[in-house]
Structures are given as structure tokens and as C-alpha cells.
Amino acid sequence: MKVCVVGAGAIGATIGARMAASGHEVALVARGAHLQAIRTEGLRFVDHVDGQSGIYRLAASDEPRDLGAQDCVFLAVKAHQLPAILGGCSTLLGPQTVVVPAINGLPWWYFYRSGGPWEGMHLETLDPQGQMFAMLPGARVLGCVVHMAAEQRAAGEVHATAGRRLILGEPDNSESERMRALAQRLRAAGFVVECSRDIRREIWVKLIGNLSFNPVAALTGYRMDQICADEQLLVLIRAVLTEGAQVAARYGIDVGMTPDERIEIARQLGAARISMLQDLESRRSLELAPIVGAVMELGQRAGVPMPTTRAIHALIRARARALDLPAI
């Protein structure tokens, strides 16, 4: 396959490096010093999950139009970067190109082909005017939930630190040939891949974890294992997990697990420094809208009180302001 990863940061570079090692023709869209390092020295990828490492000489650009039509495009940018990115991705799309948003939080396409009373709904926090659908037709999208941890430790250097699980699913929950074909190639590249007939439930299972753990990590500076070992913090985590599950239920999704069962999933990431903590430490914009804001908007529309989530949201926004960081 010809594969392009738009956003060659921690997760994007992990996908790109493993696909390249499996024999696919991989191109990366990156920027700044990271792009320059990849161009001049290659992408240094260290895989702590299986003990492998290597340097990958891959095509890389800050302009998607330089890379031509692809068979598969992974979107691994921050959610707030998507509106600026999607318009330039049209040159990556051939007749059968599938686009896989490997992003955090509630995806902008969530209500596309969802059926029921919310079909086609746009959230103010994500895509109020439906602009992203105008730039990228929903039929291109194959849903993806990422259960991995990785870090960009230097320009051109990415470390995969935990997990290799990807969940794929069609927006209409069908079992498609394109999903099966991509799953087979990802498995051959070393990922543990599941094909879901209920991708929105999988989104919520991850989302309530991000909703609870990510802001707490950024506020405390704790790794995942440190949060999971602190019983006082777990009181807060359980409260936010419960509120998130209640919102999901109002939109027809049963996450199918207790707060403590969801915490056990988080424990599997071990000593990972999760994404919002990495962003805060690197003084990057915090992804609050797709991870927290969208859930609060859905909760407000459904009449679900979320006092603990709203309190933590206020604290992390204040923390971002104190550091002069955008909290998008």
C-alpha cells in the first residue's frame, strides 16, 4: 500500500514506522524541526513494546500535495488542527482512498451514519458549521480507536512505550471489505487489530478514560501508573468516569463496564506519560474540546449534570492560562 500519515508525532510516527517496516510505501506530513530531522537523518523509531528500533528514510513534507494520491491516509494530528489540515488533504485522495482518523476524543464524524434522532448532528465544540464534512466526505472515513502510548522525545525521534491495539469500525457499523483488508495489513505490521460492529461504543470506552485521566495527569504531572496508585485521585477518576458513562447512555451507548474495570484498562499503559501531560510539558495546545468540551456539550444537551468533570475542566483551563497555553 501507499500510506500517508498526516501528523507524524508520537502516534502517527509509530503507525508510519511499523507500516514501513512491514514493506509499505510510507510518506509523512510533519513540520518544523521534526520534519527537518526526518528529512536529513531519517525517522528514528524506538519500540519499547517489542524491543525493536531503527531509522526509517521516508518521504516527508509539510505539504500534502507533494506526496500524491495514497491508498490509505491516517490523520494523527491534534483535533483542533484538523480544519486547517483537511482542506490540503484532497491531493492525497484517489478513487478508493480510505481515511483513518487516529485522533483523541469525540471525532467530528461521530454522528455521520449514526442513525436515530441524532443523525448528522454537529457539535459546537467540534465542527459547528459542518465545514470538515465539506472538506472530507464522510464516505471516506473509517473509524479508528487507538489504545497505544508513545512519545516524541526529540526532533525526528519517537518512542513507542505501551500498547499496540487498534480498533477499526465503519461509521454505519457494517463489516466492509476495506476494513478487513486494512486490518490484515495492520496486523502484519505488528498491531493488535479488532474490527468492531459498534465503533461508537469503542470510542466511548476510550473517551471516558481520556476525559478522566488526561486532565488529572496534566494537573498533577503524574504518569498513568502514579495516578492509578493514588486512591484519593481515583475517587475523582471514578466520578468523572461515571459522569461520562451517563452521557454516553443518553445517546444510546452502554459502555458495558464499571469505573474500576475502566481503571484496570488504564493500568495496562503502565508508566506512560499520557498525551495531555506531554502537551503541557512541551507547552503545546491542550486538546480540551474533543476530550472534555464535546462530552460536556452532549451532557448539557441531554440534561446530565457533570459537576466533577466541570470542576476539573475549570482547573485545567486555569492551569493552561497560567502557562499562557491555548486550551482548545
Q: How many CA atoms lie within 13 A of 94 on its CB side?
A: 13
Q: Of the listed 80, 185, 200, 206, which one is catalytic?
A: 206
How far is CA 257 from each of CA 199, 245, 246, 294, rounded to the nearest angstrom? 16, 9, 12, 21
Amino acid at 168: L
Neighbours of 199 (CB within 10 A): 23
**DSSP strands (E only) in the chain:** 2-6, 25-29, 43-47, 52-56, 59-61, 70-75, 93-101, 143-154, 157-169, 192-195
Q: How far is CA 283 from the centre of its chain?
A: 19
Q: How far apart are CA 146 and CA 205, in angstroms?
A: 11
Q: Give the gyration radius of the chain's Cα atoms.
A: 19
2 is known as an active-site residue = no
Which residues are tagged catalytic?
206
